Amino acid sequence: MLQPKEEFGITANAACSTNGGPDHTSMLFSIFINSHSNAKSVVLDKKTDLIWKCNETNNIAKCGFNNDPVVFDKYEGRAEVFRQNYSLLLKNVQHSDSGDYTAFMVSYEDQKVTCFKSLYACYSSDAVSPVDLTVDSVSGSSDSCSLIVTCSTVDSQISSIFTCDAQNCSLVEKGSFKAQTYSSNLTVNLQQDLIVCNHSNQVSWEQTKKDIKRYCKEKPVLFSIGLIIMVLAVISVYLILKYKKKK
């Protein structure tokens, strides 16, 4: 049985791998005992159990001495524990799986618990959410028009403010990030006369567009001097002929 007071500690490693999209994203957590320069696998006895948890509240699986690991209902079909070394494999990872993964060594003799967390947490990538693009203000003339726009996800979890003119768009202010972790990018750029709000990650992308010409009105086309002279000449001839007829 492992005793918490022993000099060596218990640590855990986590490795994330993505193979072919969100349905194939997996996390592998392996545990071992560090004793000076040697690393040994965890060994249970008949009075010690090991329990895998996520964020210390969600029970994933339980391992007992000489028994096959038991996966709890919430993770059944997605989690697998290897009896040889009690490593945990979590399949088809979603955002709700993000967090700290902990293994508890529970001794029924003294009820002491030894817990150890993964060295780093893994965060999965789902398909990104759609986005909205709103024009907050318009300033300047048609020759030097400038827009302040907000690009945000439809659920308003992520948003950023940009300024756009006829040449490009640049970030003014990063807005709110209400969730703990995001693995996606929110950008705004100018494609010809279109302002494009883009939300993307390694799995998918969403975008929406607005025509800058709708907000930066072009000046009316001025008549050329030659055309004005021609019109005046026609009017003058008409008036002269009309005057002669009266005589």
Do 18 and 104 belong together in one domain?
A: yes
- Residue 167: Cβ within 10 Å count: 7
H helix count then E strand count, the chain: 1, 17
- Is 183 a domain residue? yes
Do 159 and 191 belong together in one domain?
A: yes
pLDDT at 154: 85
- Is 228 a domain residue? no
Which domain-ending residue is among 117, 150, 171? 117
pLDDT at 202: 66
Around 246, how many Cα atoms within 13 Å sit in the side-chain half-sphere?
6
Whether residue 203 is predicted with pLDDT greater than 50 in this model: the reply is yes
Rounded average pLDDT over 188-196: 90
- Is 222 a domain residue? no
Do 75 and 140 belong together in one domain?
A: no
* Structural domain containing residue 51: 9-117
Token pair of 176 as six digits: 């709110």
pLDDT at 236: 80
Do 33 and 112 belong together in one domain?
A: yes
Q: What is the CATH number of the domain that holds 96?
A: 2.60.40.10
Which run of H or E residues covers position 229? helix 225-246
CA distance readout (Å), 161 to 47, 145, 152, 221: 58, 17, 9, 34
> pLDDT category, 208, cuts 50, 70, 90?
very high
- Is 136 a domain residue? yes
> Could you read off the pLDDT of 23-37 as tens digits, one per residue?
446 667 766 554 444
Closest by CA position to 85, among listed 31, 11, 10, 8 = 31
The span from the CA of 171 to the CA of 148, in Å, is 10
pLDDT at 142: 59
- Is 236 a domain residue? no
- Is 19 a domain residue? yes
Say which residue the tokens 């000449």 belong to. 233
pLDDT at 135: 93
Rounded average pLDDT over 210-219: 81
> Could you read off the pLDDT of 88-133 as tens digits, one per residue?
888 877 767 777 778 887 876 554 455 554 433 444 556 778 999 9
- Is 246 a domain residue? no
Q: Which residue has the higher pLDDT, 219 or 231?
A: 231
Do 108 and 207 belong together in one domain?
A: no
Number of domains in the chain: 2
pLDDT at 115: 54
Do 111 and 167 belong together in one domain?
A: no
The span from the CA of 138 to the CA of 140, in Å, is 7
Whether residue 218 is predicted with pLDDT greater than 80 in this model: the reply is no
- Is 242 a domain residue? no
Closest by CA position to 148, among listed 128, 132, 169 = 169
**DSSP state, 46?**
T
Q: Do 149 and 160 meet the contact criterion of CB atoms below 8 Å apart?
A: no
Whether residue 60 is predicted with pLDDT greater than 90 in this model: the reply is yes
Do 82 and 24 belong together in one domain?
A: yes
Do 37 and 137 belong together in one domain?
A: no
The span from the CA of 97 to the CA of 75, in Å, is 10
